[in-house]
Chains A and B, each alone.
Chain A
Amino acid sequence: MTEVRTQSSTTNKVLGYPLDVWYVAAWDKEVTRKPMSRKVAGRPLALYRTEGGKAVALADACWHRLAPLSLGKTLGKDQIQCPYHGIVYNSAGRCVSMPAQETINPSATVPSFPVVERHRYVWVWLGDPTKADPELVPDMHQLDSPEWAGDGETIHAPCNFQLVLDNLMDLTHEEFIHSSSIGQEELSESDFVVTHDDGTVTVSRWMFNIDAPPFWLKNMRDKFPGFEGKVDRWQIITFRSPSVINIDVGVTKAGTGAYEGDRSQGVNGFVMNAITPESDKSCHYFWAFMRNYRLDSQLITTQLRDGVHGVFGEDEAMLAAQQAAIDANPDYEFYNLNIDAGGMWVRRLIERQLESEGRLVPGA
């Protein structure tokens, strides 16, 4: 990170999406021997598993007449057959059989994209395959660590992925949108600290000696039955470019040293978010809520998932309405508040990534 741009497009309402990155394409459980279709970063993909269980991502359009391969069926060790005229491809996207002729046209291939399975997700790389280093998959280890338990869902959000990132980087909206569950006025009153480096942005907010909102009171009582009293609460939001946001959230009994590092007198959760652009105006929003207490309670897992489902439903409605308003007012600009610092750094990092790919269209 050396060069500083003077001419910035960070306030663009809609940002383009980087391609030389790993995006979550699906939950691991979604990808099976039966092919499925999913559009990632503008590219329709056919996802399936080989007989050996390896996830495969091919362009979802047959070389011949572009019929969607996701409507086809898997064959043999690693093959998929086009549902239209029966051309068969292997997992590298190479044609292995052309039913109506004795040879194979050497040009008959469909793009096969690099895939990595990690942290319960299937990740794909749509950009330059020579750069697809699995080590670049962002850390979401709470999703599959034995020290954490939980579950999540996928929201198909009708908005640009950037709007979801904005939403998660500034949680003062909780006071207004999520007033019945996690919102409280201390959120917008408390101070926050923003830091960043080349690939991450962090927004930390601490609230001391406050009443626990309903969601957190329930969680405290799950761990400390009958709990009453004030709590210290934190939200530490970490963005990992370009599309992952992990939020370290929790409360402890007030004054028991959480800020200094002792969280033993409280409950801790991680909201894991991976936001995958689908098109300019839609995205796949994969989320999970992980906790580090009462790990074996499926009841709590289900309750938390359903609770967060309700909370995120409130965000989804707002995001849809916001995108509609953006579309309906093409001549209006975005303006920024001090609370947008986290979101603005996110936009800056994405902008730099696009620039490094040579795909930043100034003023677009």
Chain B
Amino acid sequence: MAATNIEVWQLGTVVEVRNIAANVQRVVLEPSRPKTAEPGSHIDVMVSIDGHQDKRSYSIVESAEDGTQLVISVLKAPLSRGGSLFIHALQPGDQLEITQPLQNFPLRVGAQRYILLAGGIGITAMINMAQVLRNLKADYTFVYAGRNRAAMAYLEELQDLHGENLVVHIDDEGTSLDVDALVAGATEDTELYMCGPIRLMDAVRRSWTERGLSYPNLRFETFGNSGWYDPEEFVVKVPSLGLQVLVGPGRSMLEALEDAGADMMFDCRKGECGLCEVRILQLEGAIDHRDVFYSSRQKNATEKMACCVSRAVTSKTGLTAEASPSGPAIVTIEVS
């Protein structure tokens, strides 16, 4: 849908900020050039992190019909690249650069049955869709999984609105989501839309493929910001360019290489297109593949990586505490 994805930048004025769950800030914006937001759409936002500008994508959670108000709700992620801290610091009256709504995750009207799956803050991508399905009286199940109630934004509103169509899974209450059981409930005509942490989405993808369900009926949105491991500092070496660069936990490998003067090719910067591919020559540590471009076969082969989102890690278990004390992971690569 290239035509609907032309970035039109405008000013957004913050009119309201409110904490709606643990570390989740709801921000109401008034765009200077309003445009109706379709379900599944997001805006790109210019955030400033330590003095430099950077672009982040946030789902539009709620919007006025004519687009004159847009709501984003953002989780403060201590290990993230810093965009969420900027959003959390916003106050009414602040202005920031935002795009008009962009669409990469369109809801198709007319499917026989829908499953919407939200993990944690991924709920922000699903709320608008669920609302549309409810209005259409479609056959849908809305699954919301989280760690504990306090962390789950919008939970009560959604329970009121969707009643029995909403199924809630809460780890701390012993009702964790069983992905295989969920996918077992899908038929050939079911479309499943999901947004959540990469582990959840990988599990659903695996289960979906194992059951032989139609892959195009599995819809997901990823902004490339979640991995199997927590982000660590690591070293990237590019012998052909004579570069050795330290990639901080808040920067991507692509950004760090660009900062160091490498002329890098890229397009989506969120792990979809594969244009930022680099070849791995040598590796001390492991690769945390965060893209959806490579197949699992290709990921396991560790020959290439999408440097816009994927990282090198020392830890094999996913916990920062397990990071090797002997220093950062080192990945040696060749670029195109």
Contact = CB atoms under 8 A, between A and B. Distances in A.
B273 A109 contact: no
A68 interface: no
Interface string B212-240: 00011101111000000000000000000
Interface stretch (A87-95, A164-172, A248-256, A300-308): A87-95
B216 A110 contact: no
Nearest to B136: A130
B110 A129 contact: yes
Interface in A79-132: 90, 92-96, 101-107, 109-112, 114, 129-130, 132
A106 B135 contact: no
| Interface range on chain A (Cβ under 8 Å from partner) | 20 to 34
A358 B216 contact: no
Nearest to B38: A128
A112 B274 contact: no
Given A94-B216, A130-B135, A130-B136, A106 B108 contact: no
B135 A92 contact: no
A63 B2 contact: yes
A63 B1 contact: yes
Contacts of B1: 59, 63, 107, 109-111
Contact of A358 (B2, B66, B135, B268): B66
A132 B109 contact: yes
Contacts of A110: 1
A101 B109 contact: no
A97 to B, nearest CB: 9
B246 interface: no
A26 B110 CA distance: 22
A66 interface: yes
A130 B132 contact: yes
A293 B282 CA distance: 85
Contacts of A112: 108
Contacts, number: 61
Nearest to A100: B274
Interface residues of B, number: 30
B295 interface: yes
A227 B222 CA distance: 76
Contact of B221 (A106, A114, A132): A106
Interface in B120-156: 132, 135-136
Nearest to B109: A129
Interface string A44-61: 000000000000000101
B132 A96 contact: no
B294 interface: yes
B298 interface: yes
B109 A103 contact: no
Contacts of A104: 215-216
Nearest to A112: B108
Contact of B220 (A101, A103, A106): A106
User: Which 10 residue pairs of A and B lie closest in terms of their CB atoms, listed nearest first?
Assistant: A94-B216, A102-B295, A129-B109, A107-B104, A105-B272, A96-B216, A103-B295, A92-B108, A130-B109, A90-B216
Interface of A: 59, 61, 63, 66, 90, 92-96, 101-107, 109-112, 114, 129-130, 132, 358
14 contacts: A61-B2, A63-B1, A101-B274, A102-B297, A103-B292, A103-B295, A104-B215, A105-B293, A106-B221, A111-B1, A111-B106, A112-B108, A114-B109, A358-B36
Given A105-B292, A106-B221, A110-B1, 15 more contacts: A59-B1, A66-B2, A92-B108, A94-B217, A101-B293, A102-B298, A103-B293, A104-B216, A105-B272, A106-B219, A107-B268, A111-B1, A114-B109, A114-B110, A129-B108
